[in-house]
Structure 1
Amino acid sequence: ENEMYIGNMVQGKYGSVSYKTKKNKPRPKEQWYRVEGTHEPIIEKELWEKVKAMREQKAKPFTTGTIGLFSGKARCAECGYVLRSGKRENWRFLTCPNRSVSKDACGGAFISVSRLESKVMEELKRLAENYLDQEALQQGIQWDKEYEKQKNSVADRMKFYEKKILDRKKALRALYLDQVRGILTEEDYLDMTRAFSVEKKRLEEAMKICTEQIQEIEERKKAGGNGKELVEKYIHVEHLTREMVEALVDHVDVGRRIPGSRDVPIIVYWNF
């Protein structure tokens, strides 16, 4: 966490409570004084950023001390929440935490870890066919379509949430009118209002997550990059490791199982 290691000088982390006392208290980060490049770094900026991103994910290890393959990386395509890990005997799976909240909270994603690993490997091989196609590389592969596909998927979710929020607002107004007319008792009105408000707040949080995802996509699009080297490094492996997932995958959106089949749609958001 100490930016001294990447060549930055940071001061003003603490300030006095008042002129009457010598006691100091932590200051918010936006009030710190930061000067970059004051001395030679001993840690590369790229490594620093990777570790920072990993710490922010706050992936929880299992009781064995190991971190799940997709811990903190898999999200529900319906509501945007990070999938929760579960286990039945030796079979590990990922599920949306909102599945059990209420019947209309979220259809919920559900997928086994092995199936998700297989689908991510398929996507990696598909990318390799493009990255490692020398003729295509000479012509200049345009990844804008891939980024647009990801953005459109998130934008569609946002429209869905906007409609749901609007529906909740209309329902709240209707409840108020019913209470005024005496159709609903005050107790019933308060109970139903509370339930609608909780659901509305959940949808608003999902909207916020979508906005952050679109910003992440834009940042990766601007960064461009090191995709070819990463794909070449890992293309010949048969199974994913946590190290590979950290290096290659920003996150994965897991959708609802397609009715009448075992197929679960996913969208991989790569780190390049």
Structure 2
Amino acid sequence: MNVAIYCRLSEEDRNKANPLDDSVSIQNQKTMLIQYASAQRWDIYHIYSDDDYTGADRNRPAFQALLADAQDGKFQIVLCKSQSRFTRELELVERYIHGLFPVLGIRFIGLVDNADTANKGNKKSRQINGLVNEWYLEDMSDNIRSVLTNRRQQGHHIGAFALYGYQKDPDQKGHLIIDPPAAAVVQEVFTLYSQGYGKSAIARILNDRNIPNPTEYKRQQHLRYTPPKSQTATLWKYPAISSMLVNAMYIGHMVQGRYGSVSYKTKENRPRPKKDWIVVENTHAPIIQPPLWDSVQNLIAQKTKPFVTGHIGLFAHKAQCATCGYTLRSSKCRGKHYLSCPTHHVKESGCIGAFIAVDTLEAMVLAQLNYLAEAYLDQTQLEQGIHMVSGLADRKQQLIKEKTLLEKKQDSHYLQTLYADKVDGKLSQEDFQQLRTMFNQEKESRIQTIATYQAKLEALQAQLDAGQNRRALVEQYLHIDKLTREMVEVLIDHITVGRRKQGEKYPPVEIHWNF
């Protein structure tokens, strides 16, 4: 019998000689399990080890590798120190220990807590252990959250990184000290804005002087950082300047708790309302002094007064630069509103940019909409559309029949029967492995085919809905002379705007409709 040994430790072990070495606890787990497997005369296929991973982490690399090898039938036993080393989630206990493993003919053993799927009598105890472990995770999460909240309320900095402009104090945990090179950049940003420079202009000044943005600065200082997704992600941009200018951390106040986790089972964080932020004043040395801070905040308040024309927001999140793909940003000059590429002005060698007046884009959209509406409502084309919808409905019914037949074949009882025959000696291990491999290949093929059919059905349904609703939609917006935000949401998926060529009156525009 081939056995897979799985070990896990959830917190760092201070006895590590080297951070890359296995912790002592992991080594002890391996020794115990190897000795047990040898006593049972089992062949050890592989030792899977996850060090510094919690039992609620579903993306543990060794854990995922074990599951993949289990699917390939590379071992017949999974051996752990305890069920909680494998997982602390009751859902995963049911999915893998009581679900997948029995189907694959794999026995699970937790040595210390006597969890053994070969003993059907202790299934309830395994489930109780899983429930207790689940409670443990939830209680631990609540306790950790309570401790962190208390430390934040006391003004301690909690986080993996210090804010740009600061660094963690090596002599006092939870305290921030000024990082002089980055702090000088922060002071310059505030000073430039107070002197009348715009946020994009400030970004361009910093980029033209090759001053690294916060992400690039962390990389150069050999700090942990998230790798950028594009080349322009290393540049200063409008949002970075904008968020810096309103961050009260720069006047010595500790501002934390702006994001919170959705659940202890996921690492996803979501923004919290400002009233729930934890703010403690005067916890660290300020980079920006109160007079400069107040001056900048007054300027920001004056420039963010809402426009009353109704144009702002008409194409929000709908218009994109045809060159770099960034969403166009709105601006106002001499009473007129424009859309422009936000990356064009942040560096001399940046995107060639897109630029168009909002009223010009609105006129283009209205002209094309009215043309399409009149063309579609032509009686001949309408009859062709009705005929097309009828043919789509027939195709949909045929796909449903084919998909239903395939789903009926998705039955795991065949594999369970094969396993029973192997246990009874009717099938050799080699024949069982071969038949199981064939079954899994056919099953995977059916799953992919079913997924393909489902995608086709969804696409057909979308076409049917569009065909049935298109006339009413088009008639509703026929001969209009003014766009509203609601119309843009209903009618337009997105718009790409290019750079106007010399000698041409308007820039190239592509409108991608929802109908």
Q: TM-score, normalised by structure 2?
A: 0.27
In our comparison, the structure showing a higher alpha carbon Rg is 2
Q: TM-score, normalised by structure 1?
A: 0.49
